[in-house]
Every structure is written in structure tokens, then in C-alpha cells.
Structure 1
Amino acid sequence: MSRPVRNSPQQTLQLALELYQKGEFSKAEKLARGLLPGNRSNPSFLQFVAALCSAQSKFKDAVALCQQAVKLAPQSSEAHYNLGAALLGLERHAEALSSLQTSNALQSGQPDTLNNMGLALFYLDRLSEAEAALRQAVARTPHAQAHHNLGLVHQKRERYQEAIASFETALKLGHPDPAVVLHDVGHSLLALDREADAVKYLEASLRHRPRHAETLMRLADAYRILGRIDDTARCCEAGLAVEPSNMVMGALLLHVRRQGADWHDLDKLSRKVIRAVPDGTVSPFSALYMVDDPALQQTCAGRYSSKVAATHVVAPLPRRAPVRRNKIRVGYLSPDFNQHAVSRLTAGLFEQHDRSRFEILAFSYGRDDQSSLGRRVAKAFDRFLDVSDQPPMKLAESIHAHEVDIVVDLAGFTLRSRSAALARRPAPIQVNYLGYPGTMGSSWIDYIIVDRFVVPEGHEQYLTEKPVYMPDCFQVSDSNRQSAPIVRPTRTQCGLPEQAFVLCCFNNTYKLNPPLFDSWMRILKAAPHSVLWLVADTEEAKGRLRREAQGRGVDPDRILFTARVSHAEYLARMSLADLFLDTWPYNAGTTASDALRSNLPVLTCAGRSFVARMAGSLLQALGMPELITASANDYESLAVKLATDPAACGPIRSKLAERLPSAQLFDTARFCRHIETAYETMMQIWVGGEQPRHIDVQTTHQT
């Protein structure tokens, strides 16, 4: 019997090379290692085995082999390059940079070396040097990876347009991992608020790697902003299947399920999200509607703020010396200077500011919706600055460059927030107001505008900011707000029964929850001639709410819905209802103001946190505390009484009608004088060299 012919070392090496070229790295390595005993003094061979190890992410083995090669050939640029590349794989970036710099010194201008140098410098946060190295690489040859890495540098420096251009070039040059590049384009487009474009790239990325959690998360974000609720939920569910502990996705799933009235497993998911609060990954906005717990909300905001600061802040901006000028320069920061609830409340305030004492600037990073309200708001400012193309760090520089004395964040941790800009301390005094009804938990926010109802005695401990107590109500209102048309629609035209007692709630669907809905259904059962009139954004949400009613023994036909209509039509429709049922623990804010202005009584249940006491604050300021309850039982009992006893409801509505014409709650000039007093006090404290402290604004009769 003849023996099998054994390959020569040269033949074995050739076979290993062929396997390497086919991508069969493990087989190639096994063959190559068999040749190691005779090649330990061969630096080229050692580097070949190291390349096989690196191809399998066995970077520790690759580094050991490359270090041997460098000892044998210290003047080999290639050996130092391969060592640097392997060290990059181990994330030993400083050592990698040293090896790559040696390689470049021995043979300068090699594109691969410059690319990896740029990558090491990027990870070391030496961004200017990284950009210089990568620009050299792409200047020497069309290098897809270098263009991609240059895009990453631009992205980290928040130069998103330039980042997109680099990523697109990388794709055109045939980057070997298009999924990564497509994802990064989508990321940059999201940062530019171009969600529809981002969706195209993120969906394309997922076609290459459908189980990539980060891409699923970004796509879910884009869907959410575009209002694609069910798509958002599906994305989050897919992402959680990959990373079950990812509570960034968990919190987003919780929000969109609530927005879509999908309450299955709601308690289980809420508990998971709450357990993740200490990690700093849960958006503080989620905590506002999950539980009525001001301590948990403060913890959530604080941990999240710390993470935001660590992620975004490059360096604090230089502090200005405390100097009083002739006019206090106030900058309002918001994405909502358009047809939005915040502008419907604040437009009159911006107009009413005393220009002999104040200069008023807007830093607008929202979309121009061409609305009459948007035009009115823009006209109200001394300077209206469109900063929509400025990411947080650039925005901070703009605020600082305009020497703003007091910056007022009207968005906080809401959708499209750029509160991270304030982490760089662009203004000496920084204020949280209106848009985010709770503490931001941030060391960089000095004050929060409140009143004695939303933050009762003893609850200031749950604020990281110093409270500024307004004498009437924390919420400003616009005296010149658009009124409902003189001719209002009939109930029949709006699909309402003419003779029923109409209970309504036009709050966003995410504010609804099973215990609240249980309460509403008990009210409907006890008031058989009543109906419940709601707003929901999708047919799926409407169907779910009707099924929830039916499951609680209530005829689903008693659950009625209004469409999203213009603001004037919305106000007109609201006046057709008999009683507004507030949500808890997340109360109505602007919607409660709208209802009261429409002579529609608002019944609320006040809780413990700021957000759970907003409607109560409005009612207290209006002199109608009888509509504020303190428990679900009291809330239900009063609702049933008002819905079944005309003698109880009629006087309430008459009292509201009597109070509206002279209500201090809706006196914009009065509120303006009060908040200007607060701003002047903040300035006195700063100019005097004091630390921020609580401010109690006294009532003034000046108008």
C-alpha cells in the first residue's frame, strides 16, 4: 500500500494563501501554524499568520506575532503597520497610534497607514489630528474606509452635512461594509431633523444586517418623529429581541404603545423601564407618565442629564464676568416657535416684554411651518435666530456669542430637545420653563418656573433647580389667543348625540392608562346618558380603546372620537362638551387652558408630582378649587354627580363663565410683569456674586 504524499512547506504555504483568499481563515491558520516552527525568524511569515488571526478577531494572538516580527525587522514599515492594526482591534489606541506613527515615519504617506492613524486619533478624541491624517489619506487615493472614517470625525464634531458627503463617497467607492456606512448616513440625517431621508438609509442598512440593535433604535426614533406609531413599535420589538436589556428601546416602546392605546404587558414593560432608571438610559419624559413619583422623576432626570453631558460636552464655554447692562438680554430656546402648544401660550408674553428693560432673542431650531402663529411669534422678538442647522455644541457657541444673560429652555427633555447645548454653560443664568413639566435634574440649569400648587411646600427637595414661585400660576397664557369661530358646529355635525352628557378628553393618547380608563368606564356606567369623546391618531388606537371599553362592560359606541382639526375648529368643538375629564398622573397643560377658555369645566385629580398638578394649578388660579380632587374615588364621584345632576353642573359652568373675562390666569401683561421681576432678581443674584437661590415673586397690580 502506498503512503499519501505529504505537501512540501512551499505547497502548504500556497494552500494556506488560497484558503485565506477564499475567506477560510481558520483552515488557513491551522495550516500556517504547522509551518511556524521553521519560520519563527521570518517576519513576513509571522505577519501572515497575524493577518489570519486578525481576520478572526483573535487580536491578542495577532499582536504577539506582530511584536515578534517588529523585533526581527525594526525598520519594516509593514511590520509596525500590522502591529498598529492589531492593537486597534484590541482598542489599545495609544499604543496603536505609536506603532502607526513609526510605520509612517519609515514609509510616509501610505493611505492605509494614514487611515488607521486617523482612526486611532479619532478614538483618542484628537479630532483635528484625525481629520488631518484622513484628509491626507483620501488626497492620495480613492480610499473608501478613509472617507468613512473622515465622516465619523465630522459626525463627532457635529458637522453633519460634511459627514454625509464623506459617507456617500465611501459608498460610491464600494466600502466593504455598506451596512455600517448606510447606518451612519441615517444617524447624521436624524441629527439634521431629516427623518424621512434617514428612514431610507436606515432601512437599507437593515436589509444588510436585519438584527442590528443600534440601527433598529435609530429607525424607531425616525418612525416615532414621523408619527408612524405601529412601525415604531415593531422596530422596538425587533430591537428588544436582539438586546432584551436595552431600555432606551424599552422606554420608546412603552411610549408608542401608550400612544397607540396598546396596553398589553404595559405593567411588565413599565417595571423593566423603571429598573433601568439608575443607568441613565431612560428618557426623563417617560418617567413623567409612568408613575406619580417626584423622587423617581428627579433621579431619572439627573442620571440622564449626567449621561447627556458626558456624551456631548467638549468643554465648558468661558464664563462672563457679572456685569449689569442697560437691558437684560433674554434668549428663549425652542423647536416650537410655530403652530404648537408652547407658542399658543407664549406668543403674547414675547410681545408684552418691556423693551426699555429687556432685549428678547429667539433661538429657534424647529421647522418653519408657514403658520400665522409662527409668523406672529417670529415678529415678537427683537432678534429671531434660526439655529435649526446647529447641533447642540454649535448652538451653545451661538448663545454664548450673542452674550445672552438669561437663556430660557422652553423644551427641556421633550421631542427634538437640544438641551445638551446648555451643558456647556453658554449663558450665566439658565432656566427651565413650560415645555418640560418637571425638574431636569441638571447641574447646568439654575432655575425652574413654578407656583405654590405645582410645587407645594416640602416638594422643592425634588427639584435640582432653584424654584421661582409665580404668584398666580406657573403657566403663561396669551390674552390675544385665537378664539373659536362665532358660528360653531352642532353636535350632530361632530357625530355627537344632541341630548347626551358629553364627557371629553382631548389629551394625547399616551397620557391614558388602564387605571384611568377603568375609572372613566365606571363613570360611564354610573351616568348612563353620557358619552366619552376622545382624540386618537390612528384607526388602530380607536379600535383598541373601543375594545378596552367593551371589555369593561361599556358599549363601545359610547366611545366617540374627534379628528385632528385646525386650532380654531378644535376650540369650537371643545365648547360642545359638558365636562373635560383630565388624565392622571400626567395632567392636561395647554389643553386644560384651552378647555377653560372655551368655558368647559375641567375635572382633575391632583397627584404628587409637578406634571400631576398642572390642571389643578390652573383651576386654583381661576378660583375654582372645587374641581380639584385628591383621589380616584373623589374624581369619579364628582364626575358622576356633574354628569347626572343638572343642578350641580349648571352652576359650575356659570361660575366659570363669570370668571373668564377678568381671570388673572389669562392676563398676559400681569404674568409678563411677574416673570420680568423674576428675571431681574436672577440678575441681581448673579451680579452680586451669589449662588442661585429660590425666588418668591410677589403679586403686582401693574399691567
Structure 2
Amino acid sequence: MSRPATSDPLSAPPPPDYSAAVAAYRAGKLVEAERALREVLRQHGTFAPAWQLLGLVAARAGRADEALRCLDRACFYAPTNGEILSHRAELLRRAGHLKPALECARQAVRFAPDSAAAHNNLGLVWLDLEEPERARVALEAALASDPAHARAHYNLGNVLLRLDDAAAAEASLRRALELQPEHGHAWAALGVSLGAQGRFEEAYPCLDRALALRPEDAKVHLNLAHVLTAQKRLPEALRRYRQALALAPGYAEALLGQGRVHNAEKQHGLAADCFRLALAARPGWPEALHQLGGALFELEEYAEAKAVLHQALAARPAFPEAVATLLRVLSNTCDWATLPERVAEIRAAAAQALAAGHAPPISSSQANAYDFSMAEKQAFARAHSRRLEERLAPLRTRLAFRHEARGHGMPAAAAGASGRLRIGYWSYDLRNHATAHLMRTVFGLHDRARFEVFTYSYGPDDGSHYRAQIASESDHFVDLRDARDEEAARRIHADGIHILVDLMGYVANCRPEVLALRPAPVQVNYLGYPGTMGADFMDYIVTDQVTTPPEDEPFIDEAIVRLPHSYQATDDCQPIDPAPVARADEGLPETGMVYCCFNTLYKLEPTMFGAWMRILAAVPGSVLWLLAKPEAARANLRQEAAAAGVEPRRLVFAEGKPKALHLARLQLADLFLDTRYYNAHTTASDALWAGVPVLTWPGNGFPARVAASLLTAIDLPELIVPDLAAYEREAIRLGSDPAALAALKAKLARHRSSRPLFDTRRWVRHFEWALDAMWARHAAGQPPAAIQVPERVG
């Protein structure tokens, strides 16, 4: 075919039948339009607009290849027509031919620089090429040409979402809807933009409106499910994901979302199945690989989790969230070969995220296990709490809980009640868990003449005696496991709680969302999380002089309440099984020094483990007794021992046992060796209760100073050493001097019953004094301030 030598065919008047074809196309009468266009082209085969419109008819009829051929003919006869070039670029883009689409879209803009449609289509090509900044420039040019171009506003909103500018996206999408109120896609995107800002209550009606306009659109169901998931309306979210999959079988994003819901419901096997299906639909998808790695970690399939996470990082090298998950796998299997590099990687990514105003990829709780500074962890906590507060601000405003004091300093909800302070404890872990091991008897020891005790449990009922005792000894035990955040906050507020004590902080299974809604006038961070929550909605943190010395105060955002001894509650009625336990029962040698560390594996790290190996090498016949369940961890630790020149069989691994039996066998140990960055907390109390001395080298910050706090409260300061060299010397000395070790154990036995650490009633009286002081300030209209609890209280 040769190009005609005539002038631009568009300059000639349209053939008579062409107007009828255009009218039929606009009326949606595609068959009639196609018939008319073919008649036009039979008589006027070089008329480019007819080829263009015929291509659009074929595209709407789903005949993509034919549509492109028609647009090719149109461009052949009108090679400088920007409108035709723009339509051709759009068809190429939809067919996935992005490079030719880009070339064609650029030509369209060159020949029609004032065409909003041409700039809009160029923006869409750039977006599909993963160039959102260039897409933004093109779409802004489209709107400069035509500020009332609804589609360009909508597309710009999507681009801004891709650029993580949800607020600007919202403005653009609202403008699109002003121009085109029935734009279902724009309603859906507006819901997404509001969700990205944490404004889920506003997002839901937008997506519901989109669903009314586009009930068969799987993506709308998907985005509505995302919002429901964020609101923790998990059963509803699961139904929406399933609806999306019914409309679009194999929809990878819906499978991913469904898996996340299963993960949140602790159904990690089902979650892994969903992630695998997502990967079958979209092979190599980094996010699905990351989520699968996390589910496999929870299932303790560590080798596969590690392999999958490496695949995720190979597919997306700059993926700090996957690095954070990989760190969990490495730390919980004592796989330290690449640990320093991965920690450095996550530190750099966290700093970059904070500088950009984003949340870091690692939580402050996870960071406790590594050598992050107090300032870094404070910044992580602040970033997390800030996002939480921003997201929940609309709901908090709507709830508008009031806490004004009246009637004997009580809030309005409690006016006319007994006059006692209502103390609420909020926790997932009122079960067979370290928190309950420490707090089991505290609730029943409160002075009922002055305090009314509410325990709010949102964790599972494990049928344990811990949960049963806590429930029976609380004035009110409230099961809120099925309550959404708003419902839980409403219940706490309706109960007229004066002081709400959060026993979780930012540890696993925490729900700080409820505290962010401010259901109580005074809110306290205690026990579960050793550090600041960095949140305006938390008033106090309970600590002591050892865990939080004066120089650490700048890194704590709450007002500091210092108890006179250790901040940590203990249970001085904890049973130890009386049946004799022999060393052979636990795989320990009949003679020789038994060092132990029963800390969680993620607290172990190479520096301290290296010191332990040097201690073993210096004390002949000694062994190190560890609680390491995963075989991968045992293998890695044996390998580390061999590399340090220590016979691997000198590592003895304990299995999990019920608490009373564990405490009984713990008495076989001679010396508990503490970890560095994240000390023994409950495990240190257990050791001391069982009569085993604990050797610690305090580090920087709360989690690294807890063992020192416990030792101070039991008056064994000689077990607190200033550096690693002193740590090794003291461990070796005690392991080499049976008389010195025996004297130390005898001293511990005497102090166990005579020093403050294991005097639960004394601890409760001190804690109550602190609660009274907190409430007195609130009732007087004073802001939270530091409180030092005296040794002697009334």
C-alpha cells in the first residue's frame, strides 16, 4: 500500500454516511455503526476518521487485534493526527505493547500539544511502565489543557496513590467525582485513598457507593475487603475476598488478602495455601512471597521460610519489610552468618523511612533484640503511634469519650458509684503466658476497699489455671476477644474505668488501637513492652531506678513512675513441682558445672554466644543448657560451638514443660547466663525463684537492664557486671570454685524470702500508691508527671 500523495484526508468534508455511523456509535449501536462505516470505507477507503472509528467499534466489541489493524490504517492515512495517534497508543497499551504505545503516545502529544486526551493517554502508558512520576507530569499537562477532564483527574488520583500521596490523590479524585458523579472507578479509588490515610470509616461508604455502581467489579470487592480487614472486621472481609474470587477466579490480590485474614486469625496453614495460590496466579510476586515466608515462619517451617524470603528479595532487592521478616527467621534459628549485614540493611531502611515521614519496616519491639539505640527505638515507636493516631482520629472524634472529673474526683461514668478507683487491665495474655505467670496473684491482692478490678481479656481461653484464677479473683473479668476496637473501647468507657493499664504495649497480639481511642482518662504502659510507646494516648510508664536511670529519661515519652524496687511484679506463690528431678532425666552430665540460658532464641546473638563458648572452654566438664526447640536452631548452635573449638555435645537442649515441672528441673542448673541486648525478664525471675543465680551485663535501655533490676531487688549486686570481660571472669570463677558458687546459692535462698523481689503483697501496695498518685493528679486537673513511689507506703 502506498501513502496517497493528496493532502490530509481530514481536511475534506466527511462522507454523508459517516455522521450516521458516529451517531450509532455514540448510541451504543455497534453493529449499525460498523455497517455504516464499512459502507463509508467502501466508497472512501482513505478516509482516516472512518478507520479510526471502526477501530474503536472493534475494540468495544472485544476484537483487539482487528481494532489495532484499523487504527494502523487510520495512522497510515493521517500520520500527523494527534487524536488518531492517541487512540492507537491506548489500544497498544491495553494490549500490553508498552514500548510501541509509548512511542505512539509521544507522537500524539507532539502533533496535538493542546490535547488533554493525548497527554492523558501518555500518562497511562508511563504508569503501566512503572514510571509514576512521569505519569504525573503528563496528567498534569492534560489538566492544564482541560481542567474539566474528569478522566485525567481520576487517573492523576491513581498515580498519586502510587506515589504514596494519598491526600493529594483524594483531592484529585473528589474533583473527578464533581465532574462525573457516577464514576464508579473514581468512587472506588477515593475509598482507597481514604483507606491509605487510615480513614476507614470514610472509605467504607465510598467503596459501598462504587459497589452499587459496579456490582460485578471484583476490584471493588477487593478494596472493600481491604478496608474491612483494616477495621478488623475479619469475617466480613473474608466474605468480600471470596466474592472477588467468585467474580475473578485466580485473582492474585484477593488470594493474598484472604491469606492475610487467615494469618490474622492464626490460621497460618490456610494462609500459606492462599499465598501459594496467589503465586500460582502471579509467579514470582514479591509481596506474596513475603507473606508466604511470614506464614511459614509462624508454622515453624524455617528452612522453607528462609528460602521463600530470599526469593522475595531476589525479585525485589529493596524490600525492607521482607528483610525484617527474614531477620525473625534468622534470629529464631540462630542463623547468624548474614545477621550483621541484614541488621545494617534494616537500620538504613528504617532511617530512610523515618526521614520521609513513613513508618519504619521494623517495629520497636523487634528492634529490642538487636543493637538499636534508645533514640532509634523511640523514633520507631513514635512513628508507629503517630500513624495509629492519624488513622483513628475520625473514629476518636466521633466517639468523643468524656472523662471530666466530678463527685469525689471520679469521672462522670462513675459518679454515684462506690467511690473506689476502677482499675482496668487490658491484655491478650491472661492465659498460660509469661505475663500471667508474673501477674497471676496481683489482681486478687488489690485492696478492695479502695480499688475495683476489671480485667479485659481479648486473647483465647486456653483453659489454664492461670486464666481461671485471674478471672475468679477479678471483680469483673470481661472477654472481649470478639469485640472490634470501637466496641472494646465503648465497653471500657461504659465501665467507668479511671486508670487503664495496658499489659501489651507493642508486643505480639497487641491492640493499641483501643487505647488510641482514649476509653479511660489515665492510661498506663506496663510490663509487656519494655520501652516507650511514643504515644500521646499513653500517660505513664511504670519502671524503676535501674531499668530507667535518669540519663535514659529523654528516650521515654510517658511520664515515668518509678517503683522503689523492681518494676516487675512476681508471683511469690508460684508452685515448684516437689518430685525429685535427676540430671540424667534432662540429659545433663552427673558432674560438672551447668550453665543455662532459657531465654527465647531470638535474644541470643553471636557476641554473647562467643563469650559463653569461651566460658565453657575455660571450665572443664561444664555444659550449657538451652531451651531450643527448632532442630535448625540446635544444628546452628552446635555448628557455632564447633567453630569456637567447643565440643557440640556440651550444648544440652531442653524440651518445653509445664511451668511447675520446668521450675523443678531448673534447680539442676548452677548459673543462669543472661543475654545482652534483650535480657531475661520472666525467665530471670523464674531462675531466681528456683534458686539459680543470674549473671548479667546491663546494656543500654529498658530491655537490657531488667535482670539488673531484679538482682538489685533481691540484693545480689555482685551478679551485675560492668563489661563483657568481667562477665566472662565471673562466670569462669563461679564455675571453677564450688565453694563460692554454693555460698552464692545459699545467699540467694536467704534473700528469696527476705528481700522485696518476691514479696507480691509489698509490690501491690507500691503499685496502688502509684495508681492513687496518678489519679490524684488527674482529678486535680494536672497533667501527668514523674512519680517516685516511696519505700514505705501507708
Aligned length: 680
The aligned amino acid for 1:151 is A
Q: From 663, 666, 672, give the equivalent of 1:574.
A: 666
Q: Distance in 1 between matches of 2:292 and 2:771?
A: 41
Q: Distance in 2 between matches of 1:26 and 1:612?
A: 68
Alignment correspondent of 2:736 = 644
Alignment correspondent of 1:108 = none
Shift of 1:188: 3.0
Alignment correspondent of 2:389 = 309
Q: Distance in 1 between matches of 2:728 and 2:533?
A: 33
Shift of 1:418: 1.4
The answer to whether 1:603 aligns with 2:695 is yes
The answer to whether 1:669 aligns with 2:761 is yes
Cα 1:551–1:25, aligned 2, differ >3 Å: closer, same or farther? farther
Alignment correspondent of 2:327 = 254
The aligned amino acid for 2:377 is Q
Q: Is the 8 A contact 1:46 1:68 kept in 2?
A: no
The answer to whether 1:686 aligns with 2:778 is yes
Q: Distance in 1 between matches of 2:54 and 2:320?
A: 50
SS in 2 for 1:690: coil
Q: From 718, 729, 736, give the equivalent of 1:626.
A: 718
Q: Is the 8 A contact 1:292 1:612 kept in 2?
A: no
Alignment correspondent of 1:423 = 516
Alignment correspondent of 1:120 = 190
Structure with bigger RCO (C-alpha 8 Å, 6+ apart)? 1
- The equivalences for 1:140-539 within 5 A come to 142-174=216-248, 178-278=251-351, 279=354, 280-281=359-360, 282-291=362-371, 293-316=373-396, 317-323=400-406, 324-325=409-410, 326-392=419-485, 394-481=487-574, 483-539=575-631
Alignment correspondent of 1:72 = none
SS in 1 for 2:240: helix
Shift of 1:681: 0.6
The aligned amino acid for 1:65 is A
The aligned amino acid for 1:338 is R
Cα 1:556–1:379, aligned 2, differ >3 Å: closer, same or farther? same
Cα 1:7–1:16, aligned 2, differ >3 Å: closer, same or farther? farther
Cα 1:468–1:99, aligned 2, differ >3 Å: closer, same or farther? closer
Q: Distance in 1 between matches of 2:783 and 2:588?
A: 56
Shift of 1:133: 1.1
Shift of 1:54: 6.3
Q: Is the 8 A contact 1:447 1:467 kept in 2?
A: yes
Q: Is the 8 A contact 2:52 2:71 kept in 1?
A: no
Q: Is the 8 A contact 1:429 1:446 kept in 2?
A: yes
Q: Distance in 2 between matches of 1:630 and 1:352?
A: 37
Q: Is the 8 A contact 1:582 1:604 kept in 2?
A: yes
Shift of 1:198: 2.5
Q: Is the 8 A contact 1:261 1:509 kept in 2?
A: yes
Cα 1:128–1:295, aligned 2, differ >3 Å: closer, same or farther? closer
Q: Distance in 2 between matches of 1:206 and 1:682?
A: 53
Q: Distance in 2 between matches of 1:68 and 1:208?
A: 30
Q: Distance in 2 between matches of 1:277 and 1:24?
A: 48
Shift of 1:376: 1.7
Cα 1:306–1:244, aligned 2, differ >3 Å: closer, same or farther? farther
The aligned amino acid for 2:282 is R
Cα 1:453–1:116, aligned 2, differ >3 Å: closer, same or farther? same
SS in 2 for 1:413: coil
The answer to whether 1:136 aligns with 2:206 is no
Q: Distance in 2 between matches of 1:418 and 1:234?
A: 31
Q: Distance in 2 between matches of 1:36 and 1:597?
A: 92
Q: Distance in 1 between matches of 2:51 and 2:467?
A: 76
Cα 1:685–1:205, aligned 2, differ >3 Å: closer, same or farther? same
SS in 2 for 1:360: strand
Shift of 1:461: 1.9
Shift of 1:8: 7.1
- Deviating more after overlay: 28-37 vs 297-306: 28-37
Shift of 1:242: 3.1
Q: Distance in 2 between matches of 1:597 and 1:250?
A: 38
The aligned amino acid for 1:306 is R
Shift of 1:397: 4.0
TM-score (norm 2): 0.78
Cα 1:239–1:417, aligned 2, differ >3 Å: closer, same or farther? farther
Alignment correspondent of 1:584 = 676
Q: Distance in 1 between matches of 2:615 and 2:119?
A: 77
Cα 1:386–1:194, aligned 2, differ >3 Å: closer, same or farther? farther
- Deviating more after overlay: 290-299 vs 693-702: 290-299
The aligned amino acid for 1:654 is A
Q: Distance in 2 between matches of 1:649 and 1:198?
A: 51
Q: Deviations over 1:222-248 (max 9, x none)?
A: 334444434443343233223333323
Q: Distance in 2 between matches of 1:90 and 1:522?
A: 58
Q: Deviations over 1:433-464 (max 9, x none)?
A: 11111122222221111111111232222211
Q: Is the 8 A contact 1:236 1:249 kept in 2?
A: yes
Q: Distance in 1 between matches of 2:474 and 2:47?
A: 84
- Deviating more after overlay: 566-575 vs 129-138: 129-138
Q: Deviations over 1:302-323 (max 9, x none)?
A: 2333234345554434342134
Q: Is the 8 A contact 1:360 1:381 kept in 2?
A: yes
SS in 1 for 2:369: helix
Cα 1:219–1:532, aligned 2, differ >3 Å: closer, same or farther? same
- The equivalences for 1:32-51 within 5 A come to 34=75
TM-score (norm 1): 0.88
Shift of 1:494: 1.1
Q: Distance in 2 between matches of 1:22 and 1:252?
A: 46
The aligned amino acid for 2:272 is V
Q: Distance in 2 between matches of 1:360 and 1:33?
A: 80
Bigger-Rg structure (1/2): 2
Cα 1:292–1:99, aligned 2, differ >3 Å: closer, same or farther? closer
The aligned amino acid for 1:348 is T
Cα 1:344–1:327, aligned 2, differ >3 Å: closer, same or farther? same
- Deviating more after overlay: 196-205 vs 149-158: 149-158
Q: Deviations over 1:673-702 (max 9, x none)?
A: 111111111111111111111000112367
Alignment correspondent of 2:125 = none
- Structure 1: state its 5+ residue gaps: 70-78, 106-112
Q: Distance in 1 between matches of 2:576 and 2:776?
A: 42
Alignment correspondent of 1:659 = 751
Q: Distance in 1 between matches of 2:2 and 2:119?
A: 40
SS in 2 for 1:605: coil
Q: Deviations over 1:564-600 (max 9, x none)?
A: 1221221121111111111112110000111111111
SS in 2 for 1:529: coil
Shift of 1:212: 2.9
Q: Distance in 1 between matches of 2:733 and 2:554?
A: 37
Q: Is the 8 A contact 1:130 1:153 kept in 2?
A: no
Q: Distance in 1 between matches of 2:227 and 2:604?
A: 43
